[in-house]
Structure 1
């Protein structure tokens, strides 16, 4: 870390698309942080809801990156990172409210030079004792898991600090790691861009930890979800897995991977027959993911050629 070793500048990057109704709560909480060595960057992804004029009139200290066209969450986060000055890049959803010590708790683990990312504890906005994410994990079947999702928070994950990666709704990245893996893959558009980055960081030898006292309250799917989320989740799960999982692990776990995708497809097909538009979108995303896999060969080759972690080290991170 440059400048001040113990107190690095943190750049909080908030992508938003027609999320003006959430921004006042989000920004007010950030202005009250106990860790004051930070900048706030809002990336307006071509909103049509007066976001830009609101920020100009009421938030002069907030830097605004204005996207000309809506290019998706991954591109918006990359644009914010490109404009950021900090050694720590913090991605935060616009529909969140953080506690006062949140940023300080996220910064602390970066004292360890091997740490590339730090995950927040994310809880439901309207049920503040219920977990949504205590760090991301990855299964041998290729399906990412929100650790602790829907569980009552009793501190059951607070002593287990190692995770596969952090949920992009509230995660801090070391800039050196971010630049090494080239940020988010914009072809993903939205959904699983954080899982893709976690894979590449792990392949490159970085570690990820969970900060249990970095608490974030999150409105679920407030500016996304539905058909859109289902399609990109279906497609991107396949893309991310193919792009990142080492060949020996693909060969070892292919039965579990195929069965997981078949279960998802079967459930989506059944729900689609009963009128579920989101389910049909999930199935369409899976089919598009498989159909377009040949386009990812070059990306896979680049990722696998750059990795430093062994197959055994990656295998040890996966949930059985």
Structure 2
């Protein structure tokens, strides 16, 4: 019997990417899964386009697959946030279906996903929950490979995949979380894929762009921490799980393409993201890191801070540099207090 997997996708003003992702999911070879799409109060016709896609009225184009009209129409189960949060019994849906949760505001990454996780825990009680970014395209066998790795050991709580850059699939996006200089980073990020990561290995965790979580682990760790605005939620969960004795494995044969960075690498956003990334990293390092991790991270942010404040990384705008300097000083204080 194949374990049941709930696949959760968050959409916010990105229906084109979302439909490409959905179509790739409805072509996978894994037999026991369902998809829950959470719309974070989009204003770009996302709901209308999702309905049209389910009805087979619009097609998707992708360099990674050929559109399959034969798997339409999809039965669409629409819920608002209140309905999703109500206590309801387990429900049965046809194989070709999509559950759409319509939030009444943009709740961000963590809370948006948590709404769907709580919903599916009540209605489906899945063995695994897969978080998947809407800007990904999956390969047909990816979920089979991830579940096989997850089932190999009862203490495996997290499984990651080989994430490749969708714009240049020769470039690696992530092959799992590892610790470097006291904080969590994506293993292999930016390197050319030459097969050097084509083997299963234990890692620190997985990027939530595509991460498989075992239900027993989530019962112990809790869900995504909503105190993170964006970035860091997955790293926090990975480290927390590791400290509680759970393992994370990398499934090298599970390949997913990721369009990372199309919104957060614009020049106007980089300064804000640099500050936010520092705040979030300090948060999970002080929560879960050892004294050695914290010392290494102190050295790292001192070195990087010099580059940032001299304008090598961040804009020379004095407001940006001032905000980063204040964040850096707050980071030092928080880390020292955590020893």
Work out which of the two has the higher radius of gyration on C-alpha atoms and give 1 or 2: 2
1:274 to 316, 319, 331: 316
1:232 to 254, 272, 276: 276
Q: In 2, Cα distance between the equivalents of 1:281 and 1:89?
A: 37
**Residues 99/282 of structure 1: CA separation in 2 closer, same or farther (3 Å cut):** farther
**Residues 281/233 of structure 1: CA separation in 2 closer, same or farther (3 Å cut):** farther
TM-score normalized with structure 2 length = 0.78
How many matched pairs? Answer: 287
> 2:119 maps to which residue?
83
- Aligned pairs for 1:156-235 (under 5 A) are 156-225=196-265, 226-227=269-270, 228-235=272-279
2:177 to 118, 136, 154: 136
Gapped runs of 5+ residues in structure 1?
A: 1-5, 301-320
2:30 to 27, 31, 35: 35
The Cα of 1:172 is off from its aligned counterpart by 0.4
Q: In 2, Cα distance between the equivalents of 1:281 and 1:95?
A: 30
Cα deviation 1:281-320 (Å, max 9, x = unaligned): 65565455567789x98xx9xxxxxxxxxxxxxxxxxxxx
- Aligned pairs for 1:22-171 (under 5 A) are 22-59=17-54, 60=76, 61-84=97-120, 85=124, 86-111=126-151, 112-139=153-180, 141-171=181-211
The Cα of 1:280 is off from its aligned counterpart by 6.7
- Please give the root-mean-square deviation of Cα atoms over the aligned residues, in Å: 2.5
Cα deviation 1:122-177 (Å, max 9, x = unaligned): 000011121110111013x3222211111111221122511000011011000111
Q: In 2, Cα distance between the equivalents of 1:177 and 1:160?
A: 20
**Residues 38/27 of structure 1: CA separation in 2 closer, same or farther (3 Å cut):** same
Contact 2:221–2:237, Cα closer than 8 Å, also in 1: yes
- Aligned pairs for 1:234-249 (under 5 A) are 234-245=278-289, 249=290
Moved more, 153-162 or 126-135: 153-162
> 1:307 maps to which residue?
none
Moved more, 276-285 or 72-81: 276-285
Moved more, 172-181 or 194-203: 172-181
Q: In 2, Cα distance between the equivalents of 1:278 and 1:127?
A: 31
Contact 1:55–1:62, Cα closer than 8 Å, also in 2: no
Gapped runs of 5+ residues in structure 2?
A: 55-75, 77-96
Contact 1:131–1:148, Cα closer than 8 Å, also in 2: yes
The Cα of 1:238 is off from its aligned counterpart by 0.3
**Residues 22/65 of structure 1: CA separation in 2 closer, same or farther (3 Å cut):** same
Q: Say which SS state the counterpart of residue 41 (structure 1) adopts.
A: strand
